[in-house]
Chains A and B, each alone.
Chain A
Amino acid sequence: MEISADIISLASATLRISTPLVFAAMAGLFAERSGVIDFGLEGKMLAAAFVAASGAHVFGSEWYGLGLAIVCCVALSMLHGFASVTHKGDQVVSCVAINILMIGLTTALAAAWFGQQGLTPTLTDDRRFFEITLPFADAVSGVPLLGPIYSEIISGHYIFVYLAYILVPCVYWVVFKTSFGLRLRAVGENPSAVDTAGIGVELMRYKALAVNGVLIAFAGAYLSTAINANFFREMSAGRGYLALAALIFGKWKPKTALIACLLFGFTDALQIRLQGVPLPGIGIVPVQFIQAIPYVLTVVLLAGFVGKAIAPSAIGQPYIKER
């Protein structure tokens, strides 16, 4: 049986497009499970994209870029932690500040340093990540049904894609099967219980934010050094918020959040292919309507399901010892 080329390209695109969402959602999971709201995924992703592309260009290797992006995002997460955890500031405001700051600073520095109106220089091939062909992909491609699935949908992706899908079960394991994860979840539900057990609540939250920083850096680096060859302004285009919606939809659990990310990825992949294509009975849908689909879908999802999704109990509230 033949799988149509359309389905193959759609499936492959879905995996590719949902990858940054998966990293971002997992990043958000760690922060939010520990009780810290993270609306700042968008700004951090953007910062990572800028730093990764600039770093790769200046230091001659995409791995340097990735490394710098990790440093940068961890720093931003620490800043968010400092404002919200240590200084008990409003967590949403802190996130909004970081987002706006990063939108401005990334483009401003890109323009100032590289002079191209907010683009970083296009990365040469040796400074980019590339698609990986899995072993035996060519040999197997002839096998009916499974062959194309392996050689064209699963094989041929950037390393980030594979990392993302390995990441999810790892996150599950860490959060639900280790003592670190137990403490993480406890801090997000009842920080007093953790405090009276002699574990530092603030330290725990900072650790969660550090993990958050590392993971979101991957999302941003992927955008500018893998799928694209440079950074351009506001390139995250709302992915940070979509990832958050996926996390909420997935009730802060890794497996269900992953499914939500795939759903968004699928919608986005679909949207590109529908542009200019007449649909039966409707004719050509204006391109802007199709572009708006992920955002509308997010609203619909939030409207339908958040009422039942219960966030970690202590989320958003700074921990203050009661008198």
Chain B
Amino acid sequence: MVKAVDKTKVPWWVSNAIVPLVNLTLAFIVSGFFIFVAGENPYQALKLIIYGSFGYLEGFGYTLYYATNFIFTGLAFAIAFHCRLFNIGGEGQAYIGGLGVFLLAFYFSALPVPIVWLLAILASMLFGAAWAIIPGYLQAYRGSHVVITTIMFNFIASALMVFLLVDVIRDRRQMGPTTEALVKEQWLPMFKNIAAFFGFKVGYSPLNISFLLAIIVSFGVWFLIWRTKWGYEMRAVGHNTQAAIYAGISPKKNIILAMVISGALAGMLGVNEVLGVHHKILVNFPAGYGFTGIAVALMGRNHPIGIFLASLLFGMLYQGGSEVTFDMPNITRYMFVAVQGVIILFSGALENLFRPQIEHFFVNIMKRKVTT
């Protein structure tokens, strides 16, 4: 048994950098084992992942494109988590957010393009928030556990969107259920075009300026959580609801607020996917980004900086992962869903597995430095 350590002596970088890194390494080792069990060489897979995600410019573009989505869904989960709410509904909220983006861009195409973009961003937030407000309300006023209700809303969103895509807003000229495409003027500038503007020839990748939007939004979320009254109150409710009531803070209002903002953030994923990449709604375009957001938030310890780094990591896994699935017939993209699960396990549920030993190690090293 490791002797307990005086918590105040543990340097911040041990808790917030070393421990997560150790957890991540463990997750990778376990994932490597799964890859091995599936019949492939984990080391080879790792090399492919690194090459695919950073080895060439277009691949890096893909990595950042994925990261954009994860930043949105990661921030979404994190902000709800600060209020002690588990918003598992990022998938559905992103899906409906995308619907908002499309409807606005398509039916208001007469407006000047920058206005359309702004309104589309707002629409994504509004629609995403609308999908989260009911679970939020039910948790606040009826005590219904938000985990179950948001998961149910994911299924309902799926059903609703399929219905709309098949019967209502469908492009009849196409075979599959998708909407019509948005006109080219409305497409968000892609990295490829921006580079071309500056004279660089760059291959295709889905990376577009919504990546910058994601970064701006990250700042906004940081500011909201730690520098505003709303963030202060949400955190108070999340840590100690009784005390929040004592302080005149309304738990019900803050639960709903947290869910609404969370839904809005997830909804912004629609800006990237619909306005930036596909320019139409594809069936199931959230494709698991909502769930990855959970892993990203937990790994990033619910802080925008951590979320940004974790998003890069997962972007790397996704892009590198598709390189792997291309080259290794025995590995499908589902393996990387499994990897996510392992990461959530080690960064979330088992995050304190080796913390006592790590803290003990660092506090003792500090002690020795002082005495010698």
- Verify whether A and B have any Cβ pair under 8 Å: yes
Residues of A within 8 A of B (CB): 39, 82-84, 87-94, 96-109, 111-113, 117-118, 233, 238, 241, 244-245, 248, 286, 288-289, 291-292, 295-296, 298-299, 302-304, 306-307
5 example contacts (A-B, Cβ-Cβ < 8 A) are as follows A90-B348, A105-B334, A108-B332, A108-B334, A302-B148
Q: Are A295 and B156 in contact (CB under 8 A)?
A: yes
The main secondary structure of chain B at its interface with chain A is helix
A88: chain B residues at CB < 8 Å are: 352
Report which of A96, A106, A288 forms a contact with B162, defined as CB distance below 8 A. A288
Report which of B147, B159, B341 forms a contact with A105, defined as CB distance below 8 A. B341
B153 contacts A by Cβ under 8 Å: yes
B162: chain A residues at CB < 8 Å are: 288
Tell me how far the C-beta of B325 lies from the nearest C-beta in chain A, rounded to whole angstroms: 10
Report which of B37, B138, B339 forms a contact with A302, defined as CB distance below 8 A. B138
Nearest 3 pairs of A and B residues by beta carbon: A101-B341, A104-B337, A104-B338
Tell me how far the C-beta of B84 lies from the nearest C-beta in chain A, rounded to whole angstroms: 10
For the complex, what is the distance from the CA of A81 to the CA of B100, rounded to whole Å?
42
Interface residues of B in 177-220 (CB under 8 A from A): none
Interface residues of B in 15-71 (CB under 8 A from A): 34, 37-40
Given contacts A105-B338, A306-B143, contact A238 B351 (CB under 8 A): no
Q: Are B341 and A291 in contact (CB under 8 A)?
A: no
Q: Are B352 and A89 in contact (CB under 8 A)?
A: yes
For the complex, what is the distance from the CA of A90 to the CA of B38, rounded to whole Å?
30
Q: Are B147 and A39 in contact (CB under 8 A)?
A: yes
Q: Are B332 and A112 in contact (CB under 8 A)?
A: yes
Given contacts A98-B345, A105-B341, A303-B144, contact A233 B334 (CB under 8 A): yes
A241: chain B residues at CB < 8 Å are: 148, 151-152
Q: Are A291 and B345 in contact (CB under 8 A)?
A: no
Residues of B within 8 A of A (CB): 34, 37-40, 86, 88, 134-135, 138, 142-145, 147-149, 151-153, 155-156, 159-160, 162-163, 166-167, 291, 294-295, 298, 330-332, 334-342, 344-345, 348-353
Q: Are A302 and B344 in contact (CB under 8 A)?
A: no
Q: Are A109 and B37 in contact (CB under 8 A)?
A: yes
Report which of B88, B142, B160, B334 forms a contact with A103, defined as CB distance below 8 A. B334
Tell me how far the C-beta of B60 lies from the nearest C-beta in chain A, rounded to whole angstroms: 25
Given contacts A98-B345, A101-B342, A104-B334, contact A87 B353 (CB under 8 A): yes
Given contacts A101-B345, A295-B155, contact A118 B86 (CB under 8 A): no
B40: chain A residues at CB < 8 Å are: 112
Report which of B142, B294, B331, B353 forms a contact with A306, defined as CB distance below 8 A. B142
A117: chain B residues at CB < 8 Å are: 332
The winner among B135, B166, B344 for most chain A CB atoms within 10 A is B344
Q: Are A83 and B338 in contact (CB under 8 A)?
A: no
Q: Are A101 and B143 in contact (CB under 8 A)?
A: no
For the complex, what is the distance from the CA of A156 to the CA of B166, rounded to whole Å?
38
Tell me how far the C-beta of B310 lies from the nearest C-beta in chain A, rounded to whole angstroms: 15
Given contacts A104-B335, A303-B144, contact A97 B159 (CB under 8 A): no
B334: chain A residues at CB < 8 Å are: 103-108, 111, 118, 233
Tell me how far the C-beta of A198 lies from the nearest C-beta in chain B, rounded to whole angstroms: 22
Closest to A292 in B: B159
A101: chain B residues at CB < 8 Å are: 338, 340-342, 344-345
For the complex, what is the distance from the CA of A309 to the CA of B149, rounded to whole Å?
16
B332: chain A residues at CB < 8 Å are: 107-108, 111-112, 117-118
Q: Are B148 and A245 in contact (CB under 8 A)?
A: yes
For the complex, what is the distance from the CA of A101 to the CA of B39, rounded to whole Å?
18
Given contacts A100-B337, A100-B341, A112-B39, contact A307 B143 (CB under 8 A): yes
Q: Are B349 and A94 in contact (CB under 8 A)?
A: yes
For the complex, what is the distance from the CA of A184 to the CA of B256, rounded to whole Å?
35
A104: chain B residues at CB < 8 Å are: 334-341
Report which of B39, B134, B156, B345 forms a contact with A97, defined as CB distance below 8 A. B345
B156: chain A residues at CB < 8 Å are: 292, 295-296, 299
Q: Are A299 and B149 in contact (CB under 8 A)?
A: yes
Tell me how far the C-beta of B347 lies from the nearest C-beta in chain A, rounded to whole angstroms: 9
Given contacts A112-B39, A296-B156, contact A105 B34 (CB under 8 A): yes
Q: Are A83 and B349 in contact (CB under 8 A)?
A: yes
